[in-house]
Amino acid sequence: MSLLAHELRLFLRQRIALPTLILMALLSAAAVFSGIAEVRRQNEIIARIQPQQAEDVSAVRAWVSKDGDAGSAAYYTFHATWDTPAPLAFAALGQRDVAPYVLRVRALALESQIHEGENYNPEMALPGRFDWAFVLTYLAPLFLIALLHDLHSSEREARRMDALQVMARSPLGLWMRRIGLRVGLLFAAIALPFAAGAAWSGAGLLDALIILALALAYLLFWAAIALLVAGWRMGSVANAATLAASWLALTLILPALALLAINAAFPVRQGVELTLAQREAVHGGWDKAKEATMQAFFRHHPEWRDTTPVAGGFHWKWYFAFHHLGDLSVADQINAYRNGLEARDRWTRWLGLLLPAVGVQVATHRLADTDLAAQLAYQDRIRSFHGELRRFYYPYLFNDVPFREADFAKAPRWARSPF
Amino acid sequence: MSRVTRIAAHEWRTMRRSRVAQLAVLMLIVLSVVAALTAIAQRNNSDALRDRFQAQADQEFEGQPARHPHRMVHYGHFVFRPLPALAAFDPGVDAFTGSTIFLEGHRQNSANFGDVRQSSLLARFGQLTPAFVLQVLAPLVLIFVGFGAVSRERESGTLRLLAAHGATARNLVGGKALALGGVAALMLAPALAALLWLVVAQGAPGLPALGLALAYVAYLAMWVLIVIIVSSFAHHARTALMALLGIWAMTTILVPRIAPDVAVGLAPLPTRLETDIAIQRDLRKIGDSHNPDDPHFAAFKARVLKQYGVRRVEDLPLNYRGLLAMEGEALTSRLFDDYASRQFTEQRRQGGIAISFGLFSPAIALRSLSMALAGTDLEGHRRFLQQAEAYRFDIVQRLNRLQAEAVTYDDDSNRNKDPEAGRRVRIDAEHWHEVPDFVYRGAGINEKLSAAFPGAVVLLLWLAGSAIAIRLAARRLGEALS
């Protein structure tokens, strides 16, 4: 222990040591702080929309309930959905700045609603967010390089190396102590703010520990690289340059090349194709024989088969039937699109096993529930909610039940998020 | 001058002997070439794809059968944002903005299917484009190659040797800068060749391309100066390297991420959902078309009846329902424009805050300037949104006018009860051909230059600051030598 205390004294006496650690801790704390502020803002928005949404619904209720037309109720009422940030979202804000986390849907065809985007400033999103995952992935290795690049070489350059090796009881122990001390202190600088943030946000202990373990493993990876480079016995300067070049390759160049490869390997133009096709299918519904449309619809919803046939020029149940058939007609494309997106995500995860920077990003964003998978999961919840909405309105439409004021409150409500 | 060039030539030879320097420069050039080739291919593919989708959408619109005009209002139209040729150099925010909007009556939809939402997290690591290579990677390579230019000579004592041979500190600093500038020129070559190719073969506008070339030359020149300045001040090569790495990480990695966070925090945008609700609320205040006794629509009706000198809407020479649709669309459209312009104002404020961080980060200034000249900045997207909205309003009103003129009020009112009337309200498909296609007008040279202006000013400030600092560095070095 006294050996370690001695090493600590030696280390802190270095000019670069304390400023590096303090700066790391400050950056980590700032990132945690800004992440928490962003998550709080998102929660506030989710809370803020509730009364606005209620007011919007009540305005529709005011005029629809006069003649009780269920079709108008289904057509004009929007239903809010939202995706509450997970407790760990503060650490890795991920895709939540470019994908909506609040979205309103109607019982109309879903495919023309679910891909809607959010109002955000793309120039602000372009550089990426300043969050804890960024500090860990990009900055921490640079700080570690600053602390470790001259561990061996400076002793050699100061011609103390031989004396050190002779005097140390165990040379291996000496270097392990020195490296362990630096990695440990840097880890503390980056981990403590995160731990405080995680505790503040009420994150699960296990998830937080996994992230901390990953962070430590990531730092150890970079320490191993530093050791490897030190083994080549170059000067401090060459060490630093080599390590910085490795950092450049591992965190910027290779991920960018991988993105090119993955996006080229899995094109996802089905997104546009399916919306174009869905529109044709939905609007084609106006020109098809009503009976054929209804029969096609009954194949998916046989429970309404025995209701009164559609007569005359227009009936809401026919309208909602062909809207739903429009969605169903592009089911294959939806699957293909989804598969394309998932393949991109899957290959990124595989890549994460090779490139630690990608691996850390993938894992933190997964645990923070802010990655593509989280976005798709939100869409899945919207899809099932939309199904509930349709099934809520169908009895009114198919049984010709008037939709009264009290019925608005019976509509399915977006369930609270799992967090 | 010959002494300066001699020193530069000597420095070149030294650098060429350094394996690290060679490798770094070579790697950057290869990356630059790869980035240029893939970015050109990618931009051509995306643009062709969008073009094809646009043609398909146009064809589908015109191919619609005889319909009630209001059906066409809801059938709507898709428009696609073409990618300018210079997007192959700097795609800017293209991946972050959707490239297609569905246009329909009464609603303003978002631009969808941006690449970032369709990509894994990798997209946030940065895209390999010529612009990215030059903005982020090239300065780092200049640092690797040049950090020791003066400091190593100082450390090894050769500096005094040179001074003894009559070289002044100014000669020395100038020569080193010239040598490193040569490296920068080498690294710029592939990107400049790509720019030239875009102008010659792909029809990119010449002046913005020239502006881009000058901006990147200025940016790398500034980095050459910064590297030499730090190298002159530092007593040890290692100090120079660590200081430069710190400056680079701060200005190209850290500040560019902090700036937008601050800007978004200071000027938050309302969510789409809230804007939607607010527009509906305002609309109800102006006039509620669902309320038969609404004062606004009652006044509108009275005005129309008076204009045509009739007492009942049935007696109008035009279909009142079409007129009503036109009035309703005009109201919503005005609100859309209002809210959009408020949003654009906030976004501009965010951009202004972010660019002021350019004083701490030349990369921010260059990025903004570069996107503006390439036509792939927020302004470009905004132009698309505005033109799409104008086009939406135009086609919807054309269709509403058709409803007013080509469909009788009687038929329109009885279309669901009387099959004959239902047949008559479906007007001839010929009418869909009369609707013009969407033609996107990209930014003109003046618009590009004015969008690029703030970035250019900040970048020039950096260049001027570096030029002053290098004189100081030379003076300090001179004092150390004498």
- Reduced to 3 states (helix: H, G, I; strand: E, B; else coil), residue A102 is strand
Pairing assessment for the beta strands A79-82 and A102-105 based on DSSP bridges: antiparallel
Contact between chains at A358 and B125 (C-beta distance less than 8 A): yes
**What letter would DSSP give residue B435?**
S
* Residue B296, token pair as written in the block: 């606004």
Pairing assessment for the beta strands B77-80 and A102-105 based on DSSP bridges: unpaired
How would DSSP label each residue in A137-171? IIIHHHHHHHHHTTHHHHHHHTT-HHHHHHHSS-H
Burial class of B175 by CB neighbour count within 10 A (0 to 12, 13 to 18, 19+):
buried
pLDDT category of residue B23 using cuts at 50, 70 and 90: confident
Report, as an integer, the average pLDDT of B38-45: 94
- Can you tell me the distance from the alpha carbon of B249 to that of A135, in angstroms, rounded to the nearest whole number? 11
Residues of B in contact with A245 (CB under 8 A): 20, 24, 144
Q: A255 vs chain B: nearest CA distance in angstroms? A: 6
Residues in B 10-49 with any Cβ partner in A closer than 8 A: 20, 24, 31, 34, 38, 42, 49
- Can you tell me the distance from the alpha carbon of B224 to that of B175, in angstroms, rounded to the nearest whole number? 12
Contact between chains at B242 and A16 (C-beta distance less than 8 A): yes
Q: What is the pLDDT of residue A299?
A: 96
Q: What is the pLDDT of residue A172?
A: 78
A3-to-A170, A184, A188, A265, B120 alpha-carbon distances in Å: 12, 15, 20, 54, 47
- Can you tell me the distance from the alpha carbon of A131 to that of A368, in angstroms, rounded to the nearest whole number? 12
Is A67 within 8 Å of chain B by CB? Answer: no
Q: B6 vs chain A: nearest CA distance in angstroms? A: 26
- Reduced to 3 states (helix: H, G, I; strand: E, B; else coil), residue A234 is coil
For A313, phi then psi, to 5°, come to -75, -35
**H or E stretch at B147:** none
The size of chain A, in residues, is 419
Mean of all residue pLDDT scores within chain B: 93
What is the widest separation between alpha-carbon atoms in chain A? 101
For B408, phi then psi, to 5°, come to -85, 155
Q: How many CB atoms lie within 10 A of CB A415?
A: 11
Place of tokens 């398909």: B56
pLDDT category of residue B316 using cuts at 50, 70 and 90: very high
Q: Which of B122, B346, B361 to mutate to test the interface with A (most CBs of A within 10 A)?
A: B122
Q: pTM here?
A: 0.93
Q: How many CB atoms lie within 10 A of CB B14?
A: 15
- Helix, strand and coil percent figures for chain B, each rounded to 5: 75, 5, 20
Cβ–Cβ < 8 Å for A48, A80? no
Specify the higher pLDDT residue, A346 or B237: A346
Report, as an integer, the average pLDDT of B151-174: 86
- Helix, strand and coil percent figures for chain A, each rounded to 5: 75, 0, 25
* Residue B427, token pair as written in the block: 């007007």
pLDDT category of residue A37 using cuts at 50, 70 and 90: very high
A25-to-A91, A192, A226 alpha-carbon distances in Å: 15, 8, 21
Residues in B 274-303 with any Cβ partner in A closer than 8 A: 274-278, 280-281, 284, 288, 290-291
Q: How many CB atoms lie within 10 A of CB A247?
A: 21
Contact between chains at B269 and A119 (C-beta distance less than 8 A): yes
- Can you tell me the distance from the alpha carbon of A344 to that of A351, in angstroms, rounded to the nearest whole number? 10
Residues of B in contact with A117 (CB under 8 A): 98, 110-112, 114, 117, 272
Report, as an integer, the average pLDDT of A338-347: 95
How would DSSP label each residue in B343-370? HHHHHHHHHHHHHHGGGT-HHHHHHHHH
Is A117 within 8 Å of chain B by CB? Answer: yes
Pairing assessment for the beta strands B107-112 and A79-82 based on DSSP bridges: unpaired
Report, as an integer, the average pLDDT of B176-193: 96
Q: What is the pLDDT of residue B1?
A: 57
Strand-pairing partners, residue B111, are: B101
**Angle formed at CA B334 by CA B332 and CA B335, multiple of 5 degrees:** 65
Alpha-carbon torsion (A329, A330, A332, A334), positive or negative: negative
C-alpha closest to that of B259 among B350, B153, B373: B350
- Can you tell me the distance from the alpha carbon of A115 to that of A341, in angstroms, rounded to the nearest whole number? 13
**Angle formed at CA A348 by CA A347 and CA A350, multiple of 5 degrees:** 60
**pLDDT > 70? residue A417:** no
Alpha-carbon torsion (B268, B269, B275, B279), positive or negative: positive
**pLDDT > 70? residue A416:** no
B346 → chain A, closest CA residue = A121
Percentage with pLDDT > 70 across chain A: 99
Contact between chains at A351 and B122 (C-beta distance less than 8 A): yes
Strand-pairing partners, residue A105, are: A79
B276 → chain A, closest CA residue = A104
Cβ–Cβ < 8 Å for B357, B76? no
pLDDT, tens digit (0-9, with 9 covering 90-100), for A76-120: 999 999 999 999 999 999 999 999 999 999 999 999 999 999 999
Residues in A 250-269 with any Cβ partner in B closer than 8 A: 251-253, 255-260, 262-263, 268-269
Residues in B 64-83 with any Cβ partner in A closer than 8 A: 64-65, 67, 71, 74-76, 78
Percentage with pLDDT > 70 across chain B: 100
Cβ–Cβ < 8 Å for A93, A71? no
pLDDT category of residue A337 using cuts at 50, 70 and 90: very high
pLDDT, tens digit (0-9, with 9 covering 90-100), for B325-371: 999 999 999 999 999 999 999 999 999 999 999 999 999 999 999 99
Query: Would you give the distance in Å from CA B479 to the centre of its chain?
Result: 47
Place of tokens 């290795």: A141
pLDDT, tens digit (0-9, with 9 covering 90-100), for B387-428: 999 999 999 999 999 999 999 999 999 998 888 998 999 999
Residue type, B64: Q
- ipTM computed for the complex: 0.93
Q: Which residues touch B10 (CB under 8 Å, ≥6 apart)?
A: B175
Q: What is the pLDDT of residue A176?
A: 86
Strand-pairing partners, residue B103, are: B77, B108
**pLDDT > 60? residue A419:** no
How would DSSP label each residue in B221-278? HHHHHHHHHHHHH-SSHHHHHHHHHHHHIIIIIIHHHHHHHHHHHHSPPPPHHHHHHH
- Can you tell me the distance from the alpha carbon of B373 to that of B214, in angstroms, rounded to the nearest whole number? 11
Report, as an integer, the average pLDDT of A193-220: 97
**pLDDT > 90? residue B266:** yes
B37 → chain A, closest CA residue = A260
Q: How many CB atoms lie within 10 A of CB B282?
A: 15
C-alpha closest to that of B445 among B381, B384, B374: B374
B35 → chain A, closest CA residue = A257
**What letter would DSSP give residue A318?**
H
**pLDDT > 90? residue B2:** no
Q: B261 vs chain A: nearest CA distance in angstroms? A: 7
- Can you tell me the distance from the alpha carbon of A10 to that of A4, in angstroms, rounded to the nearest whole number? 10
- Can you tell me the distance from the alpha carbon of B338 to that of B285, in angstroms, rounded to the nearest whole number? 15
Q: What is the pLDDT of residue B238?
A: 85
Q: Which residues touch B1 (CB under 8 Å, ≥6 apart)?
A: none
**pLDDT > 80? residue B288:** no
Q: What is the pLDDT of residue A1?
A: 59
Q: What is the pLDDT of residue A297?
A: 96
Q: What is the pLDDT of residue A357?
A: 96
Q: What is the pLDDT of residue A284?
A: 92
How would DSSP label each residue in B33-72? HHHHHHHHHHHHHHHHHHHHHHHHHHHHHHT--SB-HHHH
pLDDT, tens digit (0-9, with 9 covering 90-100), for B187-216: 999 999 999 999 999 999 999 999 999 999
C-alpha closest to that of B100 among A376, A269, A338, A372: A269
The distance in angstroms from the start CA to the end CA of chain B is: 21
- Can you tell me the distance from the alpha carbon of A17 to that of A164, in angstroms, rounded to the nearest whole number? 21
Size of interface A-B (CB pairs under 8 A): 259
Residues in A 191-220 with any Cβ partner in B closer than 8 A: none
How would DSSP label each residue in B364-410? HHHHHHHHHHHT-SHHHHHHHHHHHHHHHHHHHHHHHHHHHHHS-HH
Cβ–Cβ < 8 Å for B113, A272? yes
C-alpha closest to that of A14 among A182, A223, A221: A182
- Can you tell me the distance from the alpha carbon of A7 to that of A153, in angstroms, rounded to the nearest whole number? 17
Buried-state track B236-256, b at ≥16 Cβ within 10 A, e below 16: ebbbbbbbbbbbbbebbbbbb
Q: Which residues touch A336 (CB under 8 Å, ≥6 apart)?
A: A270
Report, as an integer, the average pLDDT of A220-247: 90
